[in-house]
Each structure stands twice: as C-alpha cells, then as structure tokens.
Amino acid sequence: MKKYYEGVSTPCYIVDERLLTKNLELLQSIEKRTGCEILLAQKGFSMYATFPLIGQYLSGVTSSSLFEARLGYEEMGKEVHVYAPAYRENEFEEIMSYSDHIVFNSFNQWKKYKPQVEAYCASHNKKISCGLRINPEYSEIETDLYNPCFTNSRLGTTLEQFEQGLEALGTLEGIDGLHFHAMCEQNSDTLERILDAVEEKFGAYLGEMKWINFGGGHHITRPDYDVEKLITCIDRIQDKYKVKVYLEPGEAVALNTGYLVSTVLETLQNGMDLAILDTSAACHMPDVLEMPYRPQIIGAGLPGEYPYTYRLGSATCLAGDVIGDYSFPEPLQVGDQLVFTDMGHYTMVKNNTFNGINLPDILLYKEETGLVQVKSFGYEDFKSRL
C-alpha cells in the first residue's frame, strides 16, 4: 500500500507553513513596495491556527459576516474590515465592536446604519472608516456563480444607483472609501482593465476618498502572475487620487499550501475501473462540483496517461459525488493514500457533514515541530448541527 503520510487518520487536510510563508513573503513585498495594505479574505481561508503567522505579514482580515469579523479580531488581532450585502440589525453593534472598516452595499444600507456608526464611534472613542461597494459593471469572469458583475447582480452599487443615491442623500460625507470586487483567479491585466472601467465611471468621486479596496480574486501567488503590473496598477491609482489601496485576496494567500489526504476504501468495476475513497467532493471539496474543476493528485495523470485509469468516487450515496477520472502507474489497492493538492482554500470553510460523513482532520506542518494535529472531528460535530 502506498502511504505518503504515516500515522495520520484520513481524510485530513495538511497545510504546510513553509509554503504559506512563501506566499506571505510575496504578498508582503507588494505591501512594502507600494504602501498598499493586504488583508486575508477569510471567506477563502479561515484556518485560524495560521492567523498569528499571517498577521506577521499581512495587515489584517476582511470578513463577510459577524462570525468572520469576530474570528479575525480574536485570532489575528490586526485590522478587521467587513463587507456584507446586507447587515442584520441585531448583529450590527457587535460587528462595529470588531471593525476598523465597514463597507456598505448600497446607499440605502449606508443611510440606515450611518447614525449607528456615528453614535458608536462617539461613545466608544473609536474610528470606523466607512465605504461603499461599487459595481463597475465590468468583469471578465465566465462563470456566473463567481461573477459579481453579472446582469441583475445584487452586489455593489452601479453608477446609475450611485448618482441617484447621492442626489437623494445630498452628500458623500462619512464615506471614506470605495470597494469593488470583480475578479476570480485572475491576473493583473484583468485588474488593469477593471480599473479603467472604475476610473471611467467613478473617477470623479475617487478624489474625495481616502481609500479604495480592489477586492479579491487576484491570483498573485500563481507562478505566471504579473506582480510588476499589479504594482503599476496600485501606484497609478494611489498617485492619481491620493488614496490608499487595499487588496483582500483569499485564495492567493493559501494557494498551493495545503493537501487533502484520503485513502482508497474499495475498488470495483462497472464498465471501467472504479475506486471509492474515504473523502467526498460534496463534503470536503465542493468546488470540484460547483466550479467545476479537476483537482490534481500526486503521482496520478489524465485518463490513459498511465496504464491504470480509475473513476474516483466518494463515500457518500450521492450518485454525482465523483471527483473525476485519473490514471496511475500501478493498480490502486485498498489502503492506498491519495493526496489531492491545493486543498487549503475554499475547502475547510465550505465543509459539511452531508450523509453523516465526518469532517477531515486539520493538520499543520511546521518547520520546528513537523506535523501537528490542529483539529479532529467526530459524531458530536455532526449531531450538534441538526
């Protein structure tokens, strides 16, 4: 049996601190060269055992909910930014207690919560910088599921809505910044074109702002990413409008830093070779089905690339819970470990216990200690949510 990791219980995620540090060093170099600030988008990666490390390099976190705001505040303790499409009245006071920046989705939300922000800041002697999310109505994302600028999108204020809202309210007083998020796994040439659209539409207002947040979706730590062009983009906007630029990547922080280790439970045949694993796409790597995409497995290839091709399926009863077809140099055996790569981001944060499938353990590889277990889960984690 092929074992990559002895003594671990599968399925498990393993995040390698050395790989994470490499990403963080690159991100920090961009902060240093431009004076921009980079925040971790917790939506993509919330493994807070790594937050003290991330906090050594990045400026803080961005959050899309009360819980994320609290997690970032308690576990990293640096800047906390929040954006949500709409805030809940019963959570807003607590959100303010954690937040340095609050971004509103519309003039309507801003109008609703502005008095509360002002009152809270005055009574707590705190500064909360408020911003408005704009929709530049330009993006290059092909998959609607990940495209905040698709037709009839609820995310952000279009120029038309902005102008109407401003006319009704009469002032931008209290709005320090603009925020857009219009990218997904993209390079800086896409950012450049989005900035053209942002400037064309909202340039007249940018001069009145203190900051602009370029959102996430910047695939900065991918080997072919053009970092120099990103720096040119940041400099261009900072110099022209005298604003501070924020970036809030999620995926780029944890890109290629984590593995999902699983074990073959059974092999069988139905017109082709099949294998059943102790992990599940639906439960442990939902983007494989949602995006959809094909994760890499160490030592495996495309169907037919090696002599033994298998369709890898999950341990759930969902017929379509299939990870994909992969080929191997040797036949698979029960007990073999299969290691999926790049499983740090958008996995742990999206896990579920559908079908009563247990959550994978979470492990961290540290230079000083080797592999350490951060979390393991059991029946109570399944039961307590039902």
Ligand X SMILES: *Cc1c(COP(=O)(O)O)cnc(C)c1O
CA distances from 210 to 161, 174, 234 (A): 21, 11, 14
- 336 is known to lie in a ligand binding site: no
Smallest separation (angstroms) from ligand X to the CB of 251: 4
By beta-carbon proximity to ligand X, the closer residue of 78 and 181 is 181
Residue found by looking up tokens 């604003």 in the block: 243
Closest by CA position to 51, among listed 31, 87, 80, 10? 80
Smallest separation (angstroms) from ligand X to the CB of 49: 19
Helices 159-169 and 107-124 cross at an angle (nearest 10°) of 60
Q: Which of 37, 176, 251, 336 binds ligand X (CB under 6 A)?
A: 251
Task: Say if residues 45 and 344 touch (Cβ distance below 8 Å).
Answer: yes
What's the length of the chain?
A: 386
By beta-carbon proximity to ligand X, the closer residue of 234 and 315 is 234
Task: Say if residues 316 and 354 touch (Cβ distance below 8 Å).
Answer: yes
- The contact mask relative to ligand X for 164-183 (x = CB under 6 A, - = no) is -----------------x--
d(Cα 61, Cα 71) in Å, to the nearest integer?
9
Q: Which of 11, 250, 295, 360 binds ligand X (CB under 6 A)?
A: 250
d(Cα 360, Cα 10) in Å, to the nearest integer?
7
> Is residue 101 within the footprint of ligand X (CB under 6 A)?
no
Q: Which of residues 3-22 bind ligand X (CB under 6 A)?
A: none
Q: Which of 57, 73, 83, 202 binds ligand X (CB under 6 A)?
A: 83
User: What 8-state DSSP symbol labels residue 218?
Assistant: B
Give the contacts of 343 (CB within 8 A, at least 6 positions apart). Answer: 13, 258, 259, 260, 285, 295
Binding region for ligand X (CB under 6 A) out of 4-12, 188-196, 213-221, 235-243: 213-221
Q: Which of 156, 217, 324, 360 binds ligand X (CB under 6 A)?
A: 217
- 251 is known to lie in a ligand binding site: yes
Q: Which of 24, 96, 184, 277 binds ligand X (CB under 6 A)?
A: 184
> Is residue 216 within the footprint of ligand X (CB under 6 A)?
yes
Name the residues that contact ligand X, by CB under 6 A.
41, 43-44, 62, 83, 181, 184, 215-217, 248-252
Q: Which residue ranges are tagged as binding site for substrate?
A: 251, 287
Q: Which residue ranges are tagged as binding site?
A: 251, 287
